[in-house]
Structure 1
Amino acid sequence: MRVTRRQILAAGAATVAAPALAAAPAFASKRPAPADRHFTSPAVEREIVRISKQIADPKLRWMFGNCYPNTLDTTVRMAVTNGQPDAFVITGDIPCLWLRDSSAQLKPYLHLVAEDPKLAELFRGLIARQARSILIDPYANAFMQNPAAPTNLAWAAKDETVMKPGVAERKWEVDSLCYPMRLAHQYWQATHDARPFDSTWAASVRAILRTFREQQRTAGDGPYSFRRNAPQPTETLLWGHGNPVRPVGLIASGFRPSDDACIYPFLIPSNLFAVTALREIATVARAARQDDALARDAEALAGEVAAALRRHGTMRLPDGRTVWAYEVDGFGNQLFMDDANVPSLSGLAYLGCVAPDDALWRATEEAAWSTANPWFFRGRAGEGIGGPHVGPGQIWPMSLIVRALSTRDAGAIRTCLKTIRDTDGGTGFIHETFDRNDPAKFTRDWFAWANGLFGELVVQIARTQPAILQETF
């Protein structure tokens, strides 16, 4: 029997027994010893001390101290390639670089990059690594540290697709190319340092634009095809290309940010993210490289997708509410749901794709956090959004974190914080999912993106509503 990614993760984490908190009444740090940390930033260490002093709740303070530096402590592998920094950032318990995860994992440190040259070097190293990875294969979502190595992921080794050396997994996801554009723009805005934006980076952006246009599918399905022999239909694409679409200007995605197959290939949250990221990358191309042609190409594509979203991206729920759809196919078929992974419908304001007070998004988010969404769950441990990747009844803490990041409502933030605090399974870390009735049952005890996102939330609360952190829950 072939072992799949889901089986490996389930065997390693799904029934992890939570250690008793009584064994560590003082909430001893779960960070690696300083000598064992992969990367240390003085600015981040100062930030941990500064924020921790503002957190009254002892368990919340303990979790912040464990989670905020987790990416740096455990997932960064720094090197030098062609005389320039090279940062390979693994996702946690899977030793490969996901374009999406690695970008999101550095985001919590962005506000500190200007005061720490070593941290800036890490950002430059990841931007460079991502650019080279995209040039290996813009359709891949995950990569190997050694660009000449075959995949070491058992579940991907026999996929029916073109697996090039250096590719760990080849699931085509629109957001996988949006996140590196977002990371580049964030770094540029924070530093105005043009060093990462060399000819290799520009070539990777051109590869992104070419891939997006191929997947608008105006001239057929394009060069990408993928099939996997797996028990879950969400692991493969029907006939290698997924369900049919009618070309309307949107970008087709094979898979969602969860790495689950789309039902209808026009994934609306990812298309909205693409519009935002394309406009951001145009800013970088023009300001950092004076490359007006590249900027115009990105802006033109963003305009096409934005117009298509206005025509095809919304739907009406049975109760009459108009919301953003989750997926459509251009033929008139539409799906409403939400998935906890970002980009999601719930995460559109967090990503800057819509304003937090946008009426259409507010209606959409409200519906996503209700029984209108088949992947919304409520239980004794709390409520939140899950997704097909782990299955029914499993809530992703990421959905709670993103909700708290997207609102100014102090009551909603407190509720999310308390649920997050109380569903760590006693580990002091954030997991992929927890059982809605029993948080001692969780998946992935080492998931750096979720840990960092929680840290990002606490830092934002300290900046915008510090009184919340002075409470105990």
Structure 2
Amino acid sequence: MDKNRLSRRTVLRGMALSAGAASLPSAISIAQPAFQSRRPAPAARKFRSKAVDAAIDATAAKLRDPELAWLFSNCLPNTLDTTVEFGSYEGKPDTVVVTGDIPAMWLRDSSAQVWPYLQFVAQDAQLARLIEGVIRRQTRCIIADSYANAFMPDLASRQPLEWSTHDKTQMHPGVGERKWEVDSLCYPVRLAYRYWKETGDSSPFDARWAVAMHVILETFRTQQRKGSRGPYSFQRSSPAPTDTLSEDGFGNPARPVGLIYSGFRPSDDACAYPLNIPGNFFAVRTLHRIEEMLTQIARDGKAAREARALADEIEAALQAHARLHHPTAGDVYAYEIDGFGNAIFMDDANVPSLLGMPYLESCSIEDPAYQATRKFVLSDANPYFFRGSAAEGVGGPHIGRDMIWPMSIIMRALTTHDHQEQIQCLRWLKASHAGTGFMHESFNKDDAKKFTRAWFAWANTLFGELILTMGRNSPGVLAQV
């Protein structure tokens, strides 16, 4: 294959199967006895947390269904077991978190992968240090290039991911891929903020971290594109049109209305319209967190006020432009808009999504606007909602037609108070693993054995988070699956 045409999409499509067993690592076989642990041997695990292991044992023991308990026990620790490299840099903790089958660290994925472990840091000082290392590593990444979505383990490396080698953009050392996505700068702040709240530890939030927060503010302001298109552009030679940006690499045109432009979605697919609505809602929440941390930790009142003013401006723009009239669904949030009156009505499984807005604290579950949008997302009016004999759920253009992402089913369960809906989601998830004992990127709506990515740590730990959350908030539901 011509390397100029290689892309993450091409690699992952090659992992989409007619039979799920063909994609599994040799250590994982569908033929293995049912419910045998799929975790690495203890000595082979990348990081061991007594607090997480204790929570796995305690929670699994309360689950009535042995298959659900097995899935939970495999999935929750998957990030710690297989994807982390815990070391030090300048005498401080430094942690690399790769996505699984791709040897790079996405700002989004790495934040989400360790997120469920934050509830255990008070019981495990070494786990707290590991997550402190993630925060410190992400800080260095943001300063290195605030427009990059993925970074190599060696931040001095000039060799990016294989499919990024010939990208036409301003590549920097350590960058794995340089797709500008609003959420890439939001997730690290979400992680840092909760770490601070859980531990009371402000040591990661030093002068370097304050510089990173200033970089985020400047990048967000620049990508409002009020006076110019800004410095970021990206082009890639690829058979997939969503792997590159139009208009000489600056993306499709949009009118500057106060929202932040994004080149790409959380799926790493190019935006159809550059003003991504769930991403901008997430940015508002992020800016409020930055304001609080700059005020209370960095004592930087000027930058804190700038964060607040920017949050207010984006929120006002969302109120004015984000909710539009759909011909069958009524007034709902669009997925993307261009500020000229054009919009795309859909949702994508990757988070931030419209479905996942309450999960990211962008709105409440009870918000009528969200509920109307949620009804639309989970209906045939959404072109990426698929219903089949195996399950129903949201997919997206990244993998394509009839492929449901387990992540969307997990989000559905996390954004409802309806116990019957949660039970159904758990049943679909239990039916989706195709004998592997893990969640996948996507699976066919009629045949779960046709799936992509046997090793996708974000989906695995997110499933673990779902079980922990339901065990805490809805224990009766878990007893009915």
Shorter-chain TM band: over 0.9
Structure 2 residue aligned with 1:12: 15
Q: In the alignment, is residue 176 of structure 1 matched against residue 179 of structure 2?
A: no
Q: How many residues align?
A: 472
> Match of 2:68, as an amino acid?
L
Aligned structure 1 segments of 4 or more residues deviating by more than 6 angstroms: 19-22
Structure 2 residue aligned with 1:61: 69
| 8 Å CA contact retained: 1:256, 1:267 | yes
SS at match of 1:85: strand
> Match of 1:402, as an amino acid?
M
Q: 1:166 and 1:193 mapped to 2: Cα distance?
A: 28
TM-score norm. by structure 1 comes to: 0.98
| 8 Å CA contact retained: 1:15, 1:443 | no
Structure 2 residue aligned with 1:391: 400
Q: 1:25 and 1:468 mapped to 2: Cα distance?
A: 27
1:227-306 matches, within 5 Å, as 227-238=235-246, 239-306=248-315
Match of 2:196 among 171, 185, 188: 188
Structure 1 residue aligned with 2:45: 37
| 8 Å CA contact retained: 2:59, 2:471 | yes
Q: 2:335 and 2:92 mapped to 1: Cα distance?
A: 40
> Match of 1:17, as an amino acid?
G
SS at match of 1:442: strand
Q: 2:252 and 2:203 mapped to 1: Cα distance?
A: 42
The superposition leaves residues 177-222 of structure 1 with CA deviations (integer Å, 9 ceiling, x where unpaired) of: 0101111111111111110100100100100110001100001100
1:7 Cα shift? 2.0
1:16 Cα shift? 5.0
| 8 Å CA contact retained: 1:384, 1:396 | yes
Q: In the alignment, is residue 464 of structure 1 matched against residue 467 of structure 2?
A: no
The superposition leaves residues 316-348 of structure 1 with CA deviations (integer Å, 9 ceiling, x where unpaired) of: 010361111110111111111000000000000
1:38-437 matches, within 5 Å, as 38-238=46-246, 239-319=248-328, 321-437=330-446
SS at match of 1:391: coil
Q: Which runs of 5+ in 2 are unaligned?
A: none
1:273 Cα shift? 0.3
Match of 1:27 among 32, 35, 60: 35
> Match of 1:98, as an amino acid?
W
The superposition leaves residues 17-65 of structure 1 with CA deviations (integer Å, 9 ceiling, x where unpaired) of: 3389984444110000111100111110110011011111111111001
Q: 1:10 and 1:150 mapped to 2: Cα distance?
A: 26
| 8 Å CA contact retained: 1:14, 1:444 | no
SS at match of 2:184: helix
Q: 2:397 and 2:472 mapped to 1: Cα distance?
A: 35
> What fraction of aligned residue pairs are identical, expressed as a percent?
53
> Match of 2:377, as an amino acid?
A
TM-score norm. by structure 2 comes to: 0.96
1:175 Cα shift? 0.3
Q: 1:14 and 1:140 mapped to 2: Cα distance?
A: 30
Q: 1:158 and 1:165 mapped to 2: Cα distance?
A: 15
1:294 Cα shift? 2.3
Q: Which runs of 5+ in 1 are unaligned?
A: none
Q: 2:99 and 2:322 mapped to 1: Cα distance?
A: 31
